[in-house]
Amino acid sequence: MTSANIEMAVYCFDVIYAQLNRQKDPTVPREIPDVKLPLFVTWKKGVHHDLRGCIGTFSDLRLGEGLNEYAKTSAFHDSRFKPITKEEVPSLQCGVSLLINFENIHNYRDWTIGRHGVRMNFNDGRRTRSAVFLPEVASEQGWNHVETIDHLIRKSGYNDYITEELRQSLRIVRFQSSKIVLDYKDYVQYKQHHGQPIPH
């Protein structure tokens, strides 16, 4: 099984620096295996680690290409936030989540807080709605199963009353992730330790 490693997060920092400096994309490090996996890239900011961008895919993408694409997409095209600026980078933390062990579940409580992420979809009679939380979200927010599912329903854009019948009707997939988190200062230390220039 492929596990998330520090080089993946270092590469994401390199990618957004290249984009901000209008340089060509950095070369994918050899430590990033040439495999296909679904993944998410998360950017957080400041001492409280406020969310700054988080986007990924459930499609199997070649890892180097996927990290490149979603480092940029989550940094610059998450519609919930303004694009990340160069001045913000020193206050950032990068998280890379490789998604594994997908399982369909038939009861919306059949997953473990802190261990499983949840992806759900349903049709509200007008359109199909979907949303996802990574494994760490529920525990970080202090939510129980019902609160997590209700927040997921709201995240999908559904604003009507949430009934138990609706919760029971959801199509839910639980999954796990292998995750690496890297603060900017550790990114700088990594670059220095390996004799690599630090972008600015």
Q: Are 97 and 179 in contact (CB under 8 A)?
A: yes
Report, as an integer, the average pLDDT of 22-31. Answer: 95
Residue 1: pLDDT over 80: no
CA 79 to chain centre: 14
Whether residue 1 is contained in a domain is answered as no
Distances in Å between the alpha carbon of 41 and those of 52, 96, 163, 170?
A: 11, 5, 32, 26
Looking at the fold, whether 50 and 72 belong to one and the same domain comes out as yes
Please name every residue paired with 120 in a beta bridge, in sequence order, or none if there are none.
131, 172
Its domain, for residue 74, covers 6-100+178-194
Secondary structure letter of residue 137 according to DSSP: H
Is residue 125 very low, low, confident or very high in pLDDT (cuts 50, 70, 90)? Answer: confident
Looking at the fold, whether 56 and 11 belong to one and the same domain comes out as yes
Is residue 152 very low, low, confident or very high in pLDDT (cuts 50, 70, 90)? Answer: very high
Q: Based on the number of CB atoms within 10 Å of its own CB, is 120 exposed (0-12), middle (13-18) or buried (19 or more)?
A: buried
pLDDT, tens digit, 9 for 90 and up, residues 81-102? 999 999 999 999 999 999 999 9
Looking at the fold, whether 15 and 81 belong to one and the same domain comes out as yes
Is residue 199 very low, low, confident or very high in pLDDT (cuts 50, 70, 90)? Answer: confident
Rounded Cα distance between 36 and 59, Å, is: 9
What's the pLDDT score for residue 151? 97
CATH number at residue 58: 3.30.700.20
How many folded domains does the chain comprise?
2
The DSSP result for 38-61, as a single string, is: EEEEEEEETTTTEEEEEEEEEEEE
- What proportion of the chain, given as a percentage, has pLDDT over 90? 94
15: its two tokens:
């990618």
The mean predicted confidence, pLDDT, of the chain is 95
Rounded Cα distance between 9 and 44, Å, is: 13
Please name every residue paired with 43 in a beta bridge, in sequence order, or none if there are none.
53, 94
Looking at the fold, whether 158 and 185 belong to one and the same domain comes out as no
What's the pLDDT score for residue 120? 96
Looking at the fold, whether 91 and 183 belong to one and the same domain comes out as yes
Residue 6: pLDDT over 80: yes
Listed residue (100, 165, 98, 166) closest to 129, CA to CA: 166
Residue 117: pLDDT over 80: yes
Rounded Cα distance between 8 and 29, Å, is: 8
Report, as an integer, the average pLDDT of 62-70. Answer: 97
Looking at the fold, whether 95 and 139 belong to one and the same domain comes out as no
